[in-house]
Amino acid sequence: MDFLKDHSIQNELLLIFISVILGLLIGAEREYRNKSAGLRTFILVCFGSCLFTILSIKIGIEDPDRLAANIITGIGFLGAGVIFKGDNKIDGITTATTIWATASIGMAVGSGYVYLSLTGTVLVLLILSSLGYLQNFIDSNHKIREYKIVLTNFEDVADFEKMFKNYNLKFSVARQNRTQENVTTTWVLSGKHTNHDLFIKQLQHNERIHAYEF
């Protein structure tokens, strides 16, 4: 009996060690990209999910999946903490979903499905690295950026809309504020990244602009 108990403990320690390694691999990728959740976060998420799963199997005799199910709820709150609003989009969703996926990998390790967890880790790393190039390609051909431009004359607003068309930039007015001194308009422009760069050079030399930001 003691031999079987020691053998079981060794297996559990090995599973915990594997979860730490897998969490380290995913965390290293996030740390390299300087994301809000980095190396230590993913190690602890994978390790904690693994340990909770082992405990749920050991102490949840009648309902072993009860404790494991609550891991998903807890990870949801943790993931919400890394999501924040950027200039014109929501940032942190990829990191939050990676935390969620890492927790599932930790649960797979804790359940003894090591090969499944290894496969999941490889897929997560491939998605985060390889598909990033595809995302950059799409972003370079369809860049969405918000411009806040302060003009002295209201009549110049129409001229700028013509300028957007000349640079093949689709536009929509997000906000507009007019005072006695000037008019402030916030446009949302979409188009190729190179067209945005050409338009920004035009902004730098346009004397009708009182101020601008993007």
DSSP class of 62? S
Are the beta carbons of 148 and 184 closer than 8 angstroms? yes
Say how far apart CA 121 and CA 107 lie, in whole Å: 12
Burial 117-135 (b: 16+ CB within 10 A, else e): bbebbeebeeebeeeeeee
> What is the per-residue pLDDT across 151-162, written as a single tens digit (0 to 9) for each?
888 878 888 888
Overall average pLDDT of the 174-201 stretch: 86
- The domain locations on the chain are 2-140, 142-213
What class, spelled out in words, does domain 142-213 have in CATH?
Answer: alpha beta
| pLDDT band at residue 4 under the 50/70/90 scheme | very low
How far does the chain reach from its first CA to its final CA, in angstroms? 69
What pLDDT is attached to residue 5? Answer: 43
C-alpha triplet 198, 203, 206: angle, nearest 5°: 125
Q: Which residues pair with 85 in a beta bridge?
A: 90
**pLDDT confidence tier of residue 88, bands split at 50, 70 and 90:** low
pLDDT band at 17 (very low <50, low <70, confident <90, very high): very high
Biggest CA–CA distance in the chain, Å, is 89
> 214 Cβ partners below 8 Å, 6+ apart?
145, 146, 147, 148, 200
pLDDT 10s digits, 109-156:
988 899 999 999 999 999 888 777 777 787 778 888 888 888 888 878
- Mean pLDDT calculated for residue range 160-175: 87
pLDDT tens-digit readout, 42-58: 999 999 999 988 888 87
Q: Tell me the two tokens of residue 68.
A: 């494991």
3-state SS class at 29: helix
- Say which range, 21-35, 71-85, 97-111, has the weakest mean pLDDT: 71-85
Helix residue ranges per DSSP H, the chain: 2-32, 39-59, 65-80, 93-110, 114-141, 156-166, 193-204
- The torsion of the CA quartet 118, 124, 126, 131, rounded to 10 degrees, works out to 170
